[in-house]
Amino acid sequence: MADDKALTPRSEDFSAWYNEVVLRAELADYSPVRGSMVIRPWGYAIWENMQRALDDMFKATGHENAYFPLLIPMSFIEREKEHVEGFKPELAVVTHAGGKELEEHLVIRPTSETVIYSMYAKWVQSYRDLPVLMNQWANVMRWELRTRLFLRTSEFLWQEGHTAHATEAEAEEETLLILDIYRRFMEEWIAMPPVTGLKSESERFAGAVRTYGLEAMMQDRKALQAGTSHMLGQNFSRQFGLTFQSEEGQEEYAWNTSWGVSTRLIGGLVMSHGDDRGIVVPPKLAPAQVVMLPIFRSDDDREAVFGACNRVAGALSEAGVRVRLDDRTHLSPGARFWEWERKGVPFRVEIGPKDLEKGQVVVARRVHGEGEDRKMFLPESEAIGRMPGLLDELQAHLLETARTRRERDSVRGGVESVEALGEALDDGAGFVYTGWSGDPAVEERVKEVTKATLRVIPSEEFRSGSAPERCLGGEPSKMEVVWARAY
RNA sequence: CGGGGCGUGGCGCAGUCCGGUAGCGCACCUGCUUUGGGAGCAGGGGGUCGCCAGUUCGAAUCUGGCCGCCCCGACCA
Crossing angle of helices A380-408 and A299-318, rounded to 10°: 60
How high is the pLDDT of residue A235?
Answer: 95
- Say what the ipTM of the complex is: 0.84
Looking at this protein, which amino acid is placed at residue A123? W
Can you list the domains of chain A with their CATH numbers? 14-273 (3.30.930.10), 288-390 (3.40.50.800), 410-484 (3.30.110.30)
Closest nucleotide C1' to the C-alpha of A148: B70
Which positions of strand B lie within 7 Å of protein CB atoms? 1, 34-39, 68-77
The pLDDT tens digits of the residues spanning A378-418 come to 999 999 999 999 999 999 999 999 999 999 999 999 999 99
Candidates A174, A138, A142, A33; CA nearest to A77 is A142
Distance A22 CA to B16 C1' (A): 34
Answer whether A227's CB lies under 8 Å from A215's CB: no
Residue nearest the C1' of B35 (CA based): A332
Distance A141 CA to B77 C1' (A): 10
Using DSSP bridges, classify how beta strands A223-233 and A255-262 pair: parallel, antiparallel or unpaired: antiparallel
A402: alpha, beta or left? (left if phi > 0; alpha if psi -120 to 50): alpha
Distance A20 CA to B21 C1' (A): 39
Closest nucleotide C1' to the C-alpha of A299: B35
Candidates A316, A285, A282; CA nearest to A396 is A282
How far is it, in rounded angstroms, from Cα A202 to Cα A187? 27
Closest nucleotide C1' to the C-alpha of A357: B36
Answer whether A435's CB lies under 8 Å from A479's CB: yes
Distance A33 CA to B60 C1' (A): 27
Residue nearest the C1' of B26 (CA based): A4
How far is it, in rounded angstroms, from Cα A476 to Cα A468? 9
How high is the pLDDT of residue A4?
Answer: 62
Closest nucleotide C1' to the C-alpha of A377: B36
Closest nucleotide C1' to the C-alpha of A30: B69
Distance A263 CA to B47 C1' (A): 37
Helix (H, G, I), strand (E, B) or coil at A482: strand
Per-residue pLDDT of chain A (487 residues; tens, 9 = 90+): 234 678 888 888 888 888 888 888 999 888 777 777 889 999 999 999 999 999 999 999 999 999 999 999 999 999 988 898 888 888 888 888 887 889 999 999 999 999 999 999 999 999 999 999 999 999 999 888 778 889 988 889 999 999 999 999 999 999 999 999 999 999 999 999 999 999 999 999 999 999 999 999 999 999 999 999 999 999 999 999 999 999 999 999 999 999 999 999 999 999 999 999 999 999 999 999 999 999 988 777 888 999 999 999 999 999 999 999 999 988 999 999 999 999 999 999 999 999 999 999 999 999 998 888 999 999 999 999 999 999 999 999 999 999 999 999 999 999 999 999 999 998 889 999 999 999 999 998 898 888 899 999 999 999 999 999 999 989 999 999 999 999 8
Using DSSP bridges, classify how beta strands A210-217 and A223-233 pair: parallel, antiparallel or unpaired: antiparallel
Distance A41 CA to B54 C1' (A): 48
Distance A5 CA to B11 C1' (A): 12
How high is the pLDDT of residue A74?
Answer: 93
Alpha helices in A370-439 (DSSP H): 380-408, 418-426
How far is it, in rounded angstroms, from Cα A70 to Cα A140? 8
How high is the pLDDT of residue A1?
Answer: 29
Crossing angle of helices A264-273 and A14-24, rounded to 10°: 110
